[in-house]
Structure 1
Amino acid sequence: MEGAEVKTNYDEEKEKWKRPPSSYGSMKSESEESEGPETDENGAGHEGAVLPERPAPVVIGSQNYLSPETLYTMNTEQTKPPGALVIETGSGDLDRAVDDYEEDEDEEDEDMYITNSPEPPEPVEFEGLMQTDEDEQPGRFPPEQDMPFVFTNILKTLTPLKFEEMYKFRSWLKLMARELKDSNFMEGDLLDFVDKMIEVFGHSKTLYITISCLDSSGLKAQAEELQKVCMKALIRYRLTEEINRKKKFVFEGLVESRVQNKLNQIFVEPKISKRICGAIDPSHEFRSKPITPLQVPDPDSFTSLKNLFRLTKDDGSRVRTVATTALPGSGMTLHTSKFCLDWAENTANRDLECVVRLPFHRFWSLKRSESENVSLLEMIHICTSAFKGLDSYLEEADHSKRLIIMDCLDSFQDSVDWLNTPLLTDIRTPASPEVLMVNIVRGNLLPGARVWVLGRPPAVSQIPPSLIDVFTEIQCFSEEMKEDYMRRRFTPELAQKILAHYQRIPTLRILAHQPFVCWIMATMYNRFLDRQGYGNNPPRLTPVITNLFLIQLNRRLSYYYYQPEVKTMWSNQDKDMLRSMGKMALEMLRRNTDVFFKDNLKEYGLDLREVVMLTGLCTELPAVSNQRRFSFIHFTLQEYMAAFYVFIMFYQDSKNVLESGGSGKLPFFRQSSSKAQPCKAANVVRCAVELTLNSPLGQYDLFLRFLCGLMNPTCHVKLFGGFLFEYRTPPVSGLKDVSKVLEDAIKTAPADRVENLKECNREVTQEDL
């Protein structure tokens, strides 16, 4: 009867003390059972959920809370319901409020801070604190992951707790939430208490802490129920914590020289085209236009990284599958990390419920280990722990708000039958890695989920267009992006020194359009410019390309073949492959072409997958008449590979391949002369000079410069030592004679060739510190 009387009084007084509009939407601040005193099975009453201790009067009116949660609360008045003392925590007159309470003869000393208050009316929207519409960035949180939903359910869970249960909960909370002060536990009612937690930790972490404290307090039923109701919000918290832990920092370089940087600090937003063009920079120091016309993306086709899944199909619907490709070294994995980090930090794509990475590298590891077939559910647990104990989420029917990122398609080294692979729809059914991969992309597994596939062009081009809604391509750096990249990494003074240093060489300025080359120069010159005397002379071109060559090949061995990231000798098969690639590059120079085909690879005994997909030195261009076309990632690298072949044949086999007809007719030298004399560096360079001066400008000029640069001990002793050659390999002798050949050529060369010949001589003679 007592409960009925209280309820009647409550109904009569409801309009008098109704709480004004709350910031948390249509949430209730109490459970329906808390409208009257609770009774146990014997009918005995017990105390409602309260904060266990009464706070001392504290004046906090001077505090300025700037978080959205507190801004909401400060606009919500606390009124005094019958039978409860509510401290207005935003007021500076707490002492007077407590004194008034003590003078009230109708109240007893043991009054508690009752948490019940009426259901608020429709919420008031505060300007500047509302989320962006879902169709715009950063997007609107899904309702079950948003703050009002989480707040309401935390409050519903805590309200019915007894005094002893609340005391245990509070004790565990003090251990887990050390950021909260004792006063934070005591000020105001339970609503204010939860509000303060959300202000300090955010609603997702508050949910996690609440569940953990309930479980630790022995309230497992309440913890499990809260976890079940707020499952989507808990998954989002787990994923964001995992992404922040793994993606917030990027580790650059090999293990022995790895450097850690903040991703947001060094990341330069790329240009992404919705049209596949090849992404090769057509610029060249001597050629005004490339030999083979290259397609250039239309500026209207560009989109941003964060808007990839806001693109629409012809019928106006959102895209489901996106494939992205780029040149080797463009940082595709870095771009996926940035996408995930923006989502985890709630700065983009907040409308996605979850973002899960299932890299092809993991699928290939399973295939390579010849382990038993696994289900998609097991595969997800291998890649992330965020869904532990929450498998039911993945079995829901609607997956439209979920994103699966599958990067590095080129790491799966078996051919994949995208059209005839068996159908699979159950995430618990074990299958081979190929079956899982194909059915995710098709949309049979996790139907409706958005899928982002990334890989190098030769791999992505094998996916049937019917399975992909839009193909995109990451473009190289613009001039502004190159400078932005340097200025993000270094102090303004050092960035300016590095920019001014490498821009003295036109080819380096061109190659810096590729992000990987830009990173190499940033790493090299940051270290070199610390040395006294370095930087007085312009940089040499050959060491930069040699570093690119070495890093890409060592990455191939470590990433695709699981060899340790330490200096080891390359295998004979690796050396033979590089020699054959160089021979093909020299023949391409002779024929004045920059494109090769499958038949050319067979002619030189080269494997298409190894050369085009794994080395990181070549790429695939858009097909013409259904014929696949390939090229080096820049024409400059083709010239380097040709010079590399000539140098290797001279240094290891003591042969001058230029004298034996590599370029056709050489008027000043006869093939028989090499048989009478041992092969010398000066003879090789003399042939290369003759070849260059008797060919059109640009065909062999950089080839000659690279050949001279490889003669310098800095390259073939220090850089190649331990990889291509043994340590302490003897340097090339006769470099003074090589310099004399170049000086003599400068005296008689045409005016448009003199500058390059001077650079060739500097490549041979300059000793960098």
Structure 2
Amino acid sequence: MQTLEKYTFSEQSMDTRGTFKGRHMSSNMICDSHLVQNTFKSNLLKKFQCVYEGTAKQGNPTLLNEIYTELYITESESGEINNEHEVRQIETLSRRAETEDTPIKCNDIFRPLPGQDKPIRTVLTKGVAGIGKTVSVQKFIVDWAEGKENQDVQLIFPLPFREINLMKDKTLSLSDLLHVFLPETKEMEISSDEYKVLFIFDGLDECRLSLNRQSEVKLCDISASASVDELLMNLIEGNLLPSALIWITSRPAAADLVPSECVHRVTEVRGFNEPQKEEYFRKRISDQSLANTIITHLKSSRSLHIMCHIPVFCWISATVLEEMLSEAERGEIPKTLTQMYTHFLIIQTNIKHEKDYEKRVKDEDMIFNLGKLAFQQLVKGNLIFYEEDLRECGIDVTEASVYSGLCTQIFREELGLYEGKVFCFVHLSIQEHLAALYAHIHFTNENRNVFDKTKQSLFSKILNQMKYHSLSKLHQRAVDEALQSKNGHLDLFLRFLLGLSLESNQTLLRELLTQTGSCSYNKERTVQYIKQKIRENRSPERSINLFHCLNELGEDSLMQEIQDYLKSGKIGGTKLSSSQWSALVYVLLTSEQNMDVFDLDQFIGAQNTAGEVLQKLQPVVKESRSVQLWDCGVTDEGCAALTSALRSNPSHLRELDLSENKVGDSGVKQLSDLLQDPHCKLEILRLRDCGVTDEGCAALTSALRSNPSHLRDLNLSWNKVGDSGVKLLSDLLQDPHCKLEILRLRDCGVTDVSCAALTSALRSNPSHLRKLDLSLNKVGDSGVKQFSDLLQDPHCKLEKLWLSDCGVTDEGCAALTSALRSNPSHLRQLDLSLNEVGDSRVKQLSDLLQDTHCKLEKLMLRDCGVTDEGCAALTSALRSNPSHLRELDLSWNKVGDSGVKQLSDLLQDPHCKLEKLELIDCGVTDEGCAALTSALRSNPSHLRELSLYGNKLRDSDVKPLSVLKEDPHYKLDTLEF
């Protein structure tokens, strides 16, 4: 064990501004103050430096820093509360791509992210049970006490709610409260002028105080007395010690107990991501070969692998699998949750047998009583219990403490008059397993249903024995009870209850229980009942747990059927029943491949319309980062189903493509409601050819103005947006919060009138837009001139500009090249196809290309009236600055063999990096083809694509090029002729 003497504390890390005991500090007093603070740090380090991973504080603890694995913590939206069962939340978190948010280390919990300039006083950290909130707090304290992190904080006061509960009826001051929990503070005068202090309130969900927000008691003096809940609310609201930092941890369901206006940052602990899972097992298990075997086994079971996002479940799995895989005769390795938890129960019982204590209660009686406690408190929604709760279930406190892995006991002997004991199971899932075990034993041994609450007469008992003669009847009742739960609090209980009925788990139970009752059981009857409920249930999401139940029973016929459909690619042509839709949702959400991209096209067909698929697969849609609905027959009705799904989880979606659907203005208006949701983080929106007019554009831009900072890519091409719609978009673009980088308005009815509004907006906010497509619009020379003024603005960072078929003549081209010469370093791609450019303007472009600051990589001049004369100027310029251009398109120009020969001279230049050359219908003959072949032989390493389609070439003319394409020494991948 590492000793405290090893740690030293730097005096430079201590603040010497304040007073000690309210008096001016002499040098001796300052030394005394440092001594007090050092002692305080040492005591906290001694208390928090070890981790006990769910067991009581006995035996050989492990140093936290030896086993600590960084957790995945992200910043969350305040007020975002989720009341689903926590295992459902874990399954959701396991499907989220971890790149969607910026991770925050626990030591940085009070440090603003880049771009955040407001100070953070109060942090609320959410996370499901066992996900690592308390360990994060412990790590923060240990690193601070060792002098490694957050040394601007002089004092940290950890005050867990489960311990504060013991004083809920007391009246005292904040100073008194601290003196009780942390006696060292008696030597300190705690005030905001003296120390920068941090209060940590761990476990808000365990709070049994009222935390009354409406209380009229306002406290400013830490020596003023009040009830404990009034003290805490005044501290949280900033009346007491307004400069003190506050850190509160909570399970999600209780997070709204703290007023949102008092919270400056909400973070979410998501447990372990994929690399962190493996890191934990490699740290936890010294034998790396065994660790690899365990990791491989857990990955083979989706339900087990999902649960490994919870650090406590990793500990349970490591405890079970390390013992089983280390033994010569190890039996069947757990593959389901029920098997894993039953093995864990056996191991904990064996740990008890190894301890030296006087045995007064039989194992099965203690397990039964713990199960009774677990079930009763689960139904009530309680996660922590006190001595009276244990006594009601016939549990002796001293006996319960022996089962250290099942029931954690906290003794606060230093509290004196306030000494008390608090109990909880180390994780909610353990409570649910024991509750299910109690329900199973209660039925098999006494033929009684735990859901029957009334006291039974003899006649009722006889009736119940007839009613519940089969275990299937209990299962059916449990299924009904679970489906009626609003927050799914019996979901995992149901999985365990069904799993315990399997013969393999019955065999395990006989290792625990000397007497096990028996009753008739028809597994198929339970399976059919669950399938019936799946068929009746209108919400596929509510059916997901029922599929987990089928998995626990080893019944996977429906899932296998759906997987076969998916593999065959025929799912779109298959008429699915409601139960098959539910199975499809389950398979997609629990598959090994994360459903980050939802492509509607693979599910629709003759039997399934877009609207029906979107309605049935809502749970999948809302978990996808990218939703691809291109040309899928989506109407405004389908849009309604889509937005309904996305509204329940708007922060996850990053890309939405609805191109070439009959969405119309009404559909766009529904999407606009989603876009203005402050939680919406959509970055890419494609609405190409969706029947959008200026009316839909108005709704869209209004929504984006209220939430403009996330959208990066907007495609409205081939819609009747018109000048009025473009003017609305222009208002959006000049918003300083708008970060739009790509705007596509191809064939949208844009004229020089709306061009003026667009360029004016971009001049006021020019630094973000990178790509602009105005092709197939009547922009004309006047519109191009306005864009030219924008392009020569030094703040303009436009990289790609498409002006194909925009009515540009030599006048507009002259203005464009002049502007680009004054600011040539940003533009990477220019498309002037189908405009009257001609040789004279190509020569001007050539002057631009030979500028060493020009970084143009792609130039498209299709059907621009270019001849061999223009080609000569172009190739001459590129020879003087050949290293940047990667793609050149001269298709449908009268280039001829002479122009091609000049291009060939360029291609054989060793500095030329051209990768794609398009010469479609350019009047090339065998002579030009031979020149190209010769050039590529002398410089074979760069050109990847060559298109000679539509030229007067015979097979014999292109055969030498074909030979080059087949030769591995050449890079020519694509040859079209």
The normalised TM-score by structure 1 is: 0.48
Q: Considering Cα pairs closer than 8 Å and 6+ residues apart, tell me whether 1 or 2 has the greater RCO.
A: 1
The normalised TM-score by structure 2 is: 0.39
